[in-house]
């Protein structure tokens, strides 16, 4: 799913840029600051200094900004991208993808993979590496695959699972010729099954209690596996250090240490300038200006597997009316928001039209444009018809209640403030007040899980290329991962039918058609993606703009 190794991972971009207010422009045109037409697709290049394992030197430390999340289990619905990134450094990375999305099986975990279809039902046989073992000595065998499936298949609602997509299609996981072989039987065919087991859980971590609570602000290295394990996990500072795992059976990790330091985004740029960290995100003109040209560093920039969207809380009293939600969407000038985001970056992209695919992917369609246009005049008429009449201060009123929406703003970066200000101005022009409330980054997960918002700008990162399988996570009315709460049982049925299509091309066509229906709930609006741009110390190998690729931890390090 978006921003996931099989999970919905929410992320708010905290970056800094000083912008000046500007007039709203057409919401159907360019997303380029100078007004030029945007290209038909976003950039899809990768830039990460790909370096063979034997050309990476032994030793050294790799330090970046980061910390552990409130919920550290990436399979849990309340986890974020932070959890996925930290998890990957001390747990199994069994299946990964190339930058363009080709499947790669890690032989340190999977000795063999066989996929067949018999009688219309898919069977996947996973043969696990005989040497593979969890850090507590428990063999990594078919029981780990079974435990991961059982925790995520939706049969037990006590599990706060991020997604049941695909897992619910598996009818059984059984032992094969021996304990090191897992046989997965599906009902029908699942073309994107590999995304279900990119990592997996220790059977002890897969009980309801441990799945939901054991990783809350805690690490469990004894249930992990891989070339690195936890060295220090400082609950006070939020800093983490990973060190080589003496129980690892595969290729030795190149680094002596992998360090995360807990810094706010603005402090991260200064830390990079001072040589304290080795890598920093630079998604704004101001941050890019500060780090560009620094001695001993370089800029790596490429395609972005991120997308930021505006979420509407359909459970909120003022947004329960679909007509009101549609009117507000019609009032949002996405092109203007994109100009604010990309000012000074010399970057172009089309406005995003889907939650499930990026414009550089095969089969992408602009489903947003098919159901919505920027039309503030129409929005005013619709709000009038819904009974919301302009008050003396210009803000609409109905039954004595003002049409006011709460908008949490994470952090204090100028770009976030500018975006919130622009949204407030757009909505005010049609008689809607946006109440912007500053929130700490520590509140992020709680805002999402408790739906403490009317409108919220948040984003997702895709860790696999199978966008169609994520329809339900975004749009099913009975999914916690659907942050908006919108949808209907009838639509849910159509969405779930898409997952049973075995051919990826056909599945994508069906997914586009269903997404157009889901977008007509008017509770979710894709806003922008932007480039993946990073400041990196020269010589750092296998780090940067990787799109769908997640380099194995043992390959990350410094060139010889």
**H or E, element range at 409:** strand 404-410
Residue 255 — φ and ψ, nearest 5°?
Answer: -85, 150
Percent of the chain with pLDDT over 70: 93
Q: What is the pLDDT of residue 81?
A: 84
Q: What sign has the CA pseudo-torsion 279, 284, 285, 290?
A: negative
Least confident of 21-30, 45-54, 89-98, 319-328: 21-30
Q: Which of 307, 319, 429, 324 is nearest to 367 (CA)?
A: 307
Enumerate residues 6+ apart whose C-beta is below 8 A from 400.
none
pLDDT tens figures, 546-557: 999 999 999 999
Enumerate residues 6+ apart whose C-beta is below 8 A from 206.
147, 148, 150, 151
Q: What is the pLDDT of residue 37?
A: 56
pLDDT surpasses 60 at 30: no
Delineate the domains of the chain, giving CATH numbers in brackets. Answer: 305-529 (3.10.105.10)
Q: What is the pLDDT of residue 82?
A: 86
pLDDT tens figures, 234-247: 989 999 999 999 99
pLDDT surpasses 80 at 22: no
Q: What is the pLDDT of residue 293?
A: 94
Q: What is the CA radius of gyration of the chain?
A: 23
Which tokens go with 426? 């757009």
pLDDT tens figures, 476-500: 999 888 999 999 999 999 999 998 8
Residue 120 — φ and ψ, nearest 5°?
Answer: 85, -5
pLDDT tens figures, 405-424: 999 998 777 888 999 999 99
Q: Which of 307, 310, 308, 316 is nearest to 485 (CA)?
A: 316
Mean pLDDT of 110-116: 97
Mean pLDDT of 277-298: 92
Mean pLDDT of 151-156: 96
Q: What is the pLDDT of residue 38?
A: 58
Residue with tokens 């101001």, as numbered in its chain: 286
Q: Is 417 helix (H, G, I), strand (E, B) or coil?
A: helix
Mean pLDDT of 274-299: 92
pLDDT tens figures, 165-179: 899 999 999 999 999
Q: pTM for this structure?
A: 0.79
Rounded-to-10 torsion of CA 273, 277, 282, 287: -30
pLDDT surpasses 70 at 10: no
| Confidence band, pLDDT 50/70/90 cuts, at residue 463 | confident
Mean pLDDT of 370-390: 97
Q: What is the pLDDT of residue 187?
A: 94
User: What is the per-residue DSSP string for 29-84?
Assistant: S--STT-PPPPSS-----BS----GGGEES--EEEEE----SB--TTBTT-BHHHH
Enumerate residues 6+ apart whose C-beta is below 8 A from 431.
380, 383, 388, 390, 391, 394, 395, 396, 403
Q: What sign has the CA pseudo-torsion 174, 177, 182, 188?
A: negative
Mean pLDDT of 432-446: 86
d(CA 297, CA 93) in angstroms, rounded, equals: 29
Q: What is the pLDDT of residue 291?
A: 94
Q: What is the pLDDT of residue 412?
A: 73
pLDDT surpasses 60 at 23: no
CA 171: distance to chain centroid?
A: 28
Q: What is the pLDDT of residue 284?
A: 79
Burial 483-504 (b: 16+ CB within 10 A, else e): bbbbbeeebbebbbebbebeeb
Compute the mean pLDDT over every residue in the chain, rounded to the nearest whole number: 90
């Amino acid at each position: 799913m978006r921003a996931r190794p099989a999970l919905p991972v929410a992320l708010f971009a905290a970056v800094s840029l000083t912008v000046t207010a500007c007039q709203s422009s057409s919401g159907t045109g360019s997303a380029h600051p100078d007004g030029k037409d945007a290209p038909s697709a976003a950039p899809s290049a990768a830039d990460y200094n790909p370096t063979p394992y034997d050309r990476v030197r032994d030793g050294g430390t790799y330090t970046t900004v980061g910390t552990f999340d409130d919920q550290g289990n990436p399979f849990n619905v309340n986890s974020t991208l932070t959890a996925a990134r930290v998890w990957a450094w001390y747990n199994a990375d069994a299946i990964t993808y190339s930058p363009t999305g080709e499947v790669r099986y890690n032989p340190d975990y999977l000795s063999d993979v066989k996929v067949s279809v018999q009688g219309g039902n898919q069977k996947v046989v996973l043969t696990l590496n005989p040497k593979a073992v969890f850090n507590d000595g428990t063999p990594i065998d078919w029981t780990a695959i079974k435990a991961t499936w059982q925790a995520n298949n939706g049969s037990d609602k006590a599990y706060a699972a991020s997604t049941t997509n695909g897992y619910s299609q598996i009818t059984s996981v059984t032992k094969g010729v021996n304990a090191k072989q897992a046989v997965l039987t599906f009902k029908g065919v699942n073309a994107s099954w590999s995304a279900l087991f990119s990592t997996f859980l220790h059977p002890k971590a897969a009980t309801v209690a441990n799945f939901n609570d054991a990783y809350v602000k805690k690490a469990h290295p004894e249930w992990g596996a891989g070339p690195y394990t936890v060295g220090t996990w400082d609950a006070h500072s939020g800093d983490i250090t990973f060190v080589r795992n003496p129980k690892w059976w595969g290729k030795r990790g190149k680094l002596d240490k992998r360090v995360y330091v807990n810094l706010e985004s603005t402090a991260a740029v200064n830390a990079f300038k001072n040589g304290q960290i080795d890598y920093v995100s630079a998604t704004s003109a101001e941050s890019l200006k500060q780090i560009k040209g620094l001695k001993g560093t370089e800029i790596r920039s490429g395609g972005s597997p991120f997308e930021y969207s505006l979420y509407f809380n359909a459970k909120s009293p003022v947004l329960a009316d679909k007509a009101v939600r549609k009117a507000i969407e019609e009032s949002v000038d996405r092109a203007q928001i994109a100009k604010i985001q990309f000012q000074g970056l010399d970057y172009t992209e089309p406005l995003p039209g889907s939650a499930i695919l990026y414009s550089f992917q095969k089969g992408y369609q602009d489903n947003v444009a098919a159901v919505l246009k920027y039309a503030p005049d129409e929005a005013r008429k619709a709000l009038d018809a819904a009974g919301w009449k302009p008050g003396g201060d210009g803000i609409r009123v109905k039954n004595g209640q003002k049409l006011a929406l709460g908008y949490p703003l994470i952090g204090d970066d100028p770009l976030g403030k500018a975006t919130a200000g622009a949204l407030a101005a757009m909505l005010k022009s049609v008689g809607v007040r946006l109440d912007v409330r500053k929130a700490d980054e520590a509140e992020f997960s709680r805002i999402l899980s408790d739906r403490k918002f009317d409108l919220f700008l948040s984003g997702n990162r895709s860790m696999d290329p199978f966008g169609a399988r994520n329809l339900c996570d975004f749009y099913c009315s009975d999914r916690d991962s659907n942050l908006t709460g919108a949808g209907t049982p009838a639509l849910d049925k159509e969405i779930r039918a898409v997952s049973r299509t075995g051919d990826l091309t056909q599945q994508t066509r069906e997914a586009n058609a269903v997404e157009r229906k889901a977008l007509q709930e008017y509770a979710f609006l894709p806003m922008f993606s932007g480039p993946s741009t990073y400041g990196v110390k020269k010589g750092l190998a296998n780090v940067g703009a990787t799109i769908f690729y997640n380099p194995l931890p043992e390959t990350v390090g410094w060139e010889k």
